[in-house]
Amino acid sequence: MAGHDEPIGDDRPVWRKVVEFPLVALLIAIAAVAAVMAVLYVLFELLPADIDPNVDMVVRTLVTVGVFFLLGKYFISRLGENPRDDLPLAGAFRDMGLGFLGGGWLITMTVGVAAILGVYGIAGWGSSGDALMIFMQAGLFAGFFEELLLRGILFRFLEEFGGSWVALIISSLVFGFGHAGNDNATLFSSVAIAIEAGILLGAAYMYTRSLWLAVGIHAGWNVVQGYVWDVPVSGNQVDGLVDARLSGPELLSGGAFGLEASIIALVVATSAGLWLLREAARKGHVMQPWWVRRRLAREGEATNAS
C-alpha cells in the first residue's frame, strides 16, 4: 500500500507539522502557482506590442511550461509529509510518448465509432490554420499545466489526506467542471469530462506515480482530436488537417462541444481509465486516508513493542 510507513513519534516542531500537513501543503502549492502566474503576467506585458502573434504564443507557452516545470520539480516536490518528485527525468520521454500515442489512439477509436454510427464525416481537406495553436496550447500547455495543477497538486495532496478514491473523485469533478466555461459547454459535457478524462488521467498518475504518462495522454488526445480529426477541442472549434462535420443526436455527436460530450467518448475513455485504475490497484498504488495510515502505524508500533 502506497504511503503508509509514516513516522508517528517524531520531534518535528509544531510549525513544521502544520506546514507539512497535506491540506496546508495543498494551499501553499496553489498560492505558489498563483504567484508565479502573476509574475509571468507582468513579464509578458513587457513583450513588444508589434510581435508576431505566432511568435508571441510560442514564447508565452514555452516560458510558462518551463517555469512551471521548475516550480513543480524543485518546489512543489518538496512540500508535504511525503516529498516526492512527480516530474522525474528518468523515463519521462518514454512515458510521455506512450501517453501521447495512447491518448491519440483513444480519440481515434472514438472518431471511428462516431463515423460508423454516421455522426462524423470528412468533407475534404482542411487548411491546418490552427496547427500551431493546437500543438502549443491544446497540446503542450494544456497537457502539462493542467496535469501539474490537477494531478500534481490537487490529486496528490488530497490523496495524502483523504486517500486515493477521495482524490480521484474530487480532482475529476474539478477537472470536468473546470471546462464548464468553455464555448458550447453543457452540464453533460462537464460531467462527461469529469468521468472519462478525470478517471483516465487520475489513474495514469496513480499507476506511474509520475505526471508524464498523464501529460502525454492529455496532450495526445487534444492534438489528434483537433489537428488530425478536426473535432472541437473541449468545445473550441479548430481548423485541422481535414474538414470534418459532426451531426445527428447530441448524445452520439456531442453537439457543438465535440465528441468529448458524447457517450462514445464516455465509454471508450472511461473503459481505458477503469482498466488503468485496476492495474494501479494491482501494483499497490492505492493510498489509504491520512487518519487510517496513522492508526495502522500506531497499531504496528504497539505490536512491535509487545
| DSSP per-residue letters across 58-83 | HHHHHHHHHHHHHHHHHTGGG-SSS-
Mean pLDDT calculated for residue range 175-182: 96
Q: Is the dihedral of CA 213, 218, 219, 225 positive or negative?
A: positive
* pLDDT at residue 114 tops 80: yes
Phi, psi (rounded to 5 degrees) for 234: 50, 45
User: What is the chain's length?
Assistant: 306
User: Using 50, 70 and 90 to split pLDDT, how confident is the model at 302?
Assistant: low
- List the chain domain ranges: 86-305
User: Using 50, 70 and 90 to split pLDDT, how confident is the model at 11?
Assistant: confident
User: Using 50, 70 and 90 to split pLDDT, how confident is the model at 214?
Assistant: very high
DSSP string, 121-171: EEEEE---TTHHHIIIIIIIIIIIIIHIIIIIIIIHHHHHHH-HHHHHHHH
* pLDDT at residue 301 tops 80: no
- Stated as kind and residue range, the H or E segment containing 245 is strand 242-246
* pLDDT at residue 6 tops 60: no
* pLDDT at residue 196 tops 60: yes
Nearest CA to 182 out of 225, 131, 226, 233 is that of: 233
The single-letter DSSP state of residue 236 is B
Residues of 74-104 as b/e, b for ≥16 C-beta within 10 angstroms?
Answer: eebbebbbeeebbbbeeebeebbebbbebbb
pTM over 0.85: yes
Share of the chain above pLDDT 70, in %: 95
Mean pLDDT calculated for residue range 71-77: 98
* pLDDT at residue 1 tops 80: no
Mean pLDDT calculated for residue range 95-118: 98
Instruction: Report how far apart, in Å, the C-alpha atoms of 155 and of each of 86, 128, 165, 209, 275 are.
Output: 12, 35, 10, 11, 19
Tens digit of pLDDT for each residue in 251-299?
A: 999 999 999 999 999 999 999 999 999 999 999 999 999 888 888 877 7
pLDDT attached to residue 121: 97
pLDDT attached to residue 4: 43
Which of 4-18, 26-40, 105-119, 192-206 is the least confident region?
4-18
pLDDT attached to residue 293: 85
User: Using 50, 70 and 90 to split pLDDT, how confident is the model at 5?
Assistant: very low
Averaged confidence pLDDT in the chain: 94
Question: Within 10 Å of residue 58's Cβ, how many Cβ atoms?
Answer: 15
pLDDT attached to residue 296: 80
Direct distance between the N- and C-terminal alpha carbons of the chain, in angstroms, rounded to an integer: 24
